[in-house]
Structure 1
Amino acid sequence: MALSRRSVLITGCSAGGIGAALASVFQERGYHVFATARNPSKLPPNLSDAANVTSLTLDVLSSESIAAAVEGVKRETGGKLDILINNSGAGMCLPALDTPIEDGKRLFDLNLWAPLAMFQAFAPLLIEAKGCVVNNSSAGAYSPMALNSKYWISKAALAAASETWSHELQPLGVRTVTLITCAVKTEFFTKYQRDELPASSRYYGIRDFNYGISDGWLQAGAISSRQYATKVAKEIEKGSTGIVWAGTHALLFRFLCWLLPQSLFDMVVESVVPISAEMEKAKQKK
């Protein structure tokens, strides 16, 4: 029997991440939540056991898996979906010179093309519900920090794509939200398997500094995933459209991006990831 309550599908809901926090907040607000993961056993118990949560196996890189998820939602809702949150994603901490192109393409498949595949597949359900698509990008789309370029580039591409898609979806009655996510405390870095620099790399002398970027220090002092999810849910429910900044110091970061001259903003970025200073220290040691 079709459900009358509002519904939301969230990708990437494994325990300890942003997706799981979003699913919990929407579940508490009375939505029927479709919490998805490649392996549903990785969902937190509070989601797996909740009456208004449906766990779905979903690999966003598989058209067959996406199609099966669409059918699963249709059976529960009668052919509608109020909110689709494209949250799944991955990182890659390597300099551009040392990133294999094929690895970069796989990252783009997950961070850019998968959200497109998802909203294409769920478009009939979203249009029927006059719903909302939410694409989770990153502050990295606006701050070109070194040694993580493929991730930032893929998130910048998603932000630009999401804002473009919004103009195409608006005439169909579907609202689009582009999340610009600043630092959030999650378990991402505890599970991250670092990418190794080859000994031939021009950055091999600062390899420890490079590896340090993926050890979680960028999340130091960050807000919790629940605080973030609560902010995002409020923005969605009040009808926000377009770019929404969320996460640690999101408002401050937003103003720095817009107000500072490029030269000063570059200094701020360099202060966060001081690659030039580290390269100079490595050169002096050598």
Structure 2
Amino acid sequence: MPRVRKFALVTGCGQGGIGEALVKEYNRRGVHAIATLLPFEESEHLAEAGITWYRLDVTDENTVIELKREIQSLTGGFLDVLVNCAGICYTMTAIDTNVNSVKRMFDVNLFGPMRMVHHFHDIIIKASGTIVNIGSIGGIVPYMYGSSYNASKAALHHWSNTLRLEMSPLDVKVITVISGEVGTNILKNDTHRALPEGSYYSPLASEFKAHVQRVPSKTTDRFDYASNVVAQSLRASPKAWFWYGSATTIIRFFDTFAWRTFFDFVFYREFNLGKLRAANVTRLKQA
């Protein structure tokens, strides 16, 4: 007997983020949407929308296993869509990176999706379902001060590529979403960050501060983004890589047709690296 309703699980659905927009869009389309929240996050924005939600920390194996039990009980052992959306950022120059902070970010951005797929794959296979991994243009271009975040997303892209191939004979679809800049609050936990004392980048300290405290202006509305991503995930034959959001068209074009260091030139000017070069020349002369 065919199942009447589909189930979609979205991780990382705190208020103001992409996850919240995605889970509300699935709900709007008649899919039984299931959201996850961190233990400390408020839930009113989901409860008011009538969305089923559970507590989850994708870095904690035990909470993933417990969520699996809850989902199996709720859905009868099927999961039509898994969206790995939970993510955090870390803004810092590559040479000033705190590796322990980066380990935490990779645990969320890369190992979190790996844990989710490891534990949920059987009920996704049973449903001939779809896995959606939320990537980023940061994993494509050398966006300044984002080397570690960019690396986490590039790793997710390539893991997702192989996952797509390996899941294809099991009738499971895998979509990698290459997201442009979307209007969310993902930067809220990074606004305090400053360059360490004595950094070679100290001449750009004020620019760095402005960067981490910026409010991006040319962003894609997160609900518009969610509408397009959800529509793609519900297709019988979705795109392997789905590019959507601010700047994705131009980045996709130049990544395909321009020389490899094209974006070095773009970001060198955008982030005022000439000022850093001049300061370094002066420092060397004084030494």
So what's the TM-score if we normalise by structure 2?
A: 0.91
Using the alignment, how far apart are the partners of 1:149 and 1:278 within structure 2?
20
Using the alignment, how far apart are the partners of 2:221 and 2:254 within structure 1?
23
Deviation at 1:71, TM superposition (A): 0.9
Give the match for residue 175 of structure 2.
Answer: 177
Give the match for residue 17 of structure 1.
Answer: 17
Query: Map of 1:63-212 to 2, 5 A cutoff?
Result: 63-212=61-210
Using the alignment, how far apart are the partners of 2:17 and 2:279 within structure 1?
35
Alpha carbons of structure 1 residues 40 and 263: separation in structure 2 relative to 1, 3 Å: closer
3-state SS of paired residue (1:184): coil
3-state SS of paired residue (1:177): strand
Deviation at 1:248, TM superposition (A): 1.1
3-state SS of paired residue (2:264): helix
Deviation at 1:277, TM superposition (A): 2.2
Using the alignment, how far apart are the partners of 1:77 and 1:281 within structure 2?
61
Of 98-107 and 125-134, deviating more is 98-107
Give the partner amino acid of 1:135.
N
Alpha carbons of structure 1 residues 69 and 272: separation in structure 2 relative to 1, 3 Å: farther
Give the partner amino acid of 2:70.
G
Query: Map of 1:213-228 to 2, 5 A cutoff?
Result: 213-217=211-215, 219-228=216-225
Give the match for residue 59 of structure 1.
Answer: 57
Using the alignment, how far apart are the partners of 1:41 and 1:180 within structure 2?
26
Q: Identity of aligned pairs, percent?
A: 29
3-state SS of paired residue (1:126): helix
Residue 83 of structure 2 contacts residue 133 of structure 2 at CA under 8 Å; is this kept in 1? yes
After superposition, what is the alpha-carbon deviation per residue over 1:11-56, rounded to whole angstroms, capped at 9, x for unaligned?
A: 11011000000011111000111110113752452x21334x2111
Using the alignment, how far apart are the partners of 2:161 and 2:265 within structure 1?
28
Alpha carbons of structure 1 residues 279 and 136: separation in structure 2 relative to 1, 3 Å: same
3-state SS of paired residue (2:152): helix
Give the partner amino acid of 2:248.
A
Residue 206 of structure 1 contacts residue 282 of structure 1 at CA under 8 Å; is this kept in 2? no
Give the match for residue 269 of structure 1.
Answer: 267
Deviation at 1:169, TM superposition (A): 1.1
Give the match for residue 36 of structure 2.
Answer: 36
Give the match for residue 231 of structure 1.
Answer: 228
Deviation at 1:101, TM superposition (A): 1.9
After superposition, what is the alpha-carbon deviation per residue over 1:65-118, rounded to whole angstroms, capped at 9, x for unaligned?
A: 001111111111100000000001111111111112222222111111110000
Using the alignment, how far apart are the partners of 1:231 and 1:116 within structure 2?
24
Using the alignment, how far apart are the partners of 1:269 and 1:163 within structure 2?
27
Using the alignment, how far apart are the partners of 2:192 and 2:11 within structure 1?
23
Give the match for residue 256 of structure 2.
Answer: 258
Using the alignment, how far apart are the partners of 2:169 and 2:156 within structure 1?
21
Residue 26 of structure 2 contacts residue 33 of structure 2 at CA under 8 Å; is this kept in 1? yes
Residue 93 of structure 1 contacts residue 194 of structure 1 at CA under 8 Å; is this kept in 2? no
Between the two proteins, the alignment pairs up a number of residues equal to 280
Deviation at 1:199, TM superposition (A): 0.8
Residue 190 of structure 1 contacts residue 216 of structure 1 at CA under 8 Å; is this kept in 2? no
Residue 142 of structure 2 contacts residue 263 of structure 2 at CA under 8 Å; is this kept in 1? no
Using the alignment, how far apart are the partners of 1:112 and 1:153 within structure 2?
10
Using the alignment, how far apart are the partners of 2:247 and 2:43 within structure 1?
29
Whichever structure has more helix as a proportion of its residues is 1
Alpha carbons of structure 1 residues 44 and 187: separation in structure 2 relative to 1, 3 Å: farther
Deviation at 1:122, TM superposition (A): 0.6
Unaligned runs of 5+ in 2: none
Residue 175 of structure 1 contacts residue 241 of structure 1 at CA under 8 Å; is this kept in 2? no
Residue 13 of structure 2 contacts residue 19 of structure 2 at CA under 8 Å; is this kept in 1? yes
Give the partner amino acid of 2:150.
W
After superposition, what is the alpha-carbon deviation per residue over 1:221-252, rounded to whole angstroms, capped at 9, x for unaligned?
A: 21110011011112112231311101113222
Using the alignment, how far apart are the partners of 1:62 and 1:55 within structure 2?
17
So what's the TM-score if we normalise by structure 1?
A: 0.91
